[in-house]
A and B are shown apart, each in its own frame.
Chain A
């Protein structure tokens, strides 16, 4: 293939195959910026699939990214389970009161029907619209909160930690319902045109639970769910740490791991050992106050540490660029990828020698 003519899909698939494409793919996962682009409130923006389609297509062009993002907000899944969402004027929508008030509620919990939940239909429609616009030229990323991480929103983080340690049987019941939901939800997004599913699983991160517990719980759940998802998955730690469990995550059958800015990308790449690709790890919170020069330096550093040989999708470390990040920073990131992300990365050796 002529490297200079690669489209975003070819570029992405090449790097996921642990080969070097024409340049490092830029997975700039923008969401809320679509509302800014369309001059709407965040609440209005998410009320209609057409807005998200238009917003995503404009952002793709503006920031020269290599993917489209079918993600609305995490709480949309909770809405499907009967919960509510709180909209903010200047930040991501958040989930309201927990739908599981007492652990006993789990005994009668039933997963909602993905095909009829109205909120989810908006997401399918958005993905279908994006697919109609780009076909197979640009990867479209769908999102599912992992069955293992969803309970943080379903019941509250404190109550969930207690359940995990103290009520193994109820925990298992909850996982059975959540796996059924996540698998159906992921597969419906794939059927609508998503190329892959970003499986958000920060509960499994060593930031949140110790490795021994992950091996008994989150990893088992991931193996069961991912085996039933009919497309590739990217397991995202949402900026939680995962260096000590990188090989364990690879064992779940996932293709990509979304990694934290709190860990070294070079070490993460070594731990990934070509079994999985990496997505990350620019610090989205700090990004808010970067200068264009700092943005360039951060991009350069990430590419130097993990770009060679492919296997890197450059993005932020959380899976969503915060609303507060200014345009000039996002544009500078695109410029820097153009400038420093072209293969062969023949400047890297010297850069690493002096830094």
Chain B
């Protein structure tokens, strides 16, 4: 494990941008940008996500650190950089819900981890099913906050399966945290407990899809 993970994570949790930036620069003296992202930024965000799930880190810290890492990584790995992970073709959306923070955090953490993905904003079922197929999406990340929206994921999954789209669906958000069986009930392929989970799961699928 890279010894810089710990100081990087600690500075993020303290919201100490100057310190986090300096640790990141230190990583860049021996590592390429994508290596620094994978060996320092991703593990630190993963630990923060796991700590939130366990109750020892707060959402405000998760949000601020995700946003900050996104900016940091944007700098060294601009969207056009060939080292960015453009595959599998992915998109993130808030389904029939008005609460955008979950998506914003997951998007930041994915981008801070070197991924590029479409941000669909908020959509209803019909629009989402049509758009994901038209864009030839392979991995669809869905975030919701209220229960009726979580249950609507079922319509999305049923229709994507019926169309044999091959699109894999990853869900997350409060209702899925409170009912551990719900992601299976609605026909999703996986659920993430935290934003950092999204990175792990999509990376796993990336391997399978190649």
Residues of A bordering B, CB below 8 Å? 86, 88, 90-92, 94-96, 156-158, 161-162, 164-165, 206-210, 213, 239, 241, 243, 261-263, 283-286, 288-289, 322-324
Contacts and interface: CB of A to CB of B under 8 A. Distances in A.
Interface in B59-89: 59-61, 63-64
Contact of A283 (B59, B149, B178, B185): B178
Interface in B113-162: 146-149, 151
B175 interface: yes
Contacts of A207: 52, 55, 58-59
A158 B179 contact: no
Contact of A88 (B99, B101, B148): B148
B63 A161 contact: yes
Nearest to A243: B55
A261 B179 CA distance: 11
Nearest to B185: A289
Nearest to B152: A90
B104 A208 contact: no
Size bin of chain B's contact surface: 20 to 34
B50 interface: no
Contacts of A165: 15, 60, 64
B190 interface: no
A283 B179 contact: yes
Interface of B: 15, 52, 55, 57-61, 63-64, 98-101, 104, 146-149, 151, 175, 178-179, 181-182, 185
B101 A157 contact: yes
Given A286-B178, A324-B151, A158 B100 contact: yes
A209 B59 contact: yes
15 contacts: A88-B148, A91-B149, A92-B146, A95-B98, A156-B100, A158-B63, A161-B63, A165-B15, A207-B59, A210-B57, A213-B60, A285-B147, A288-B147, A323-B148, A324-B148
B55 A94 contact: no
Contacts of B101: 156-158
Nearest to A242: B55
Contacts of A88: 148
A206 B147 contact: no
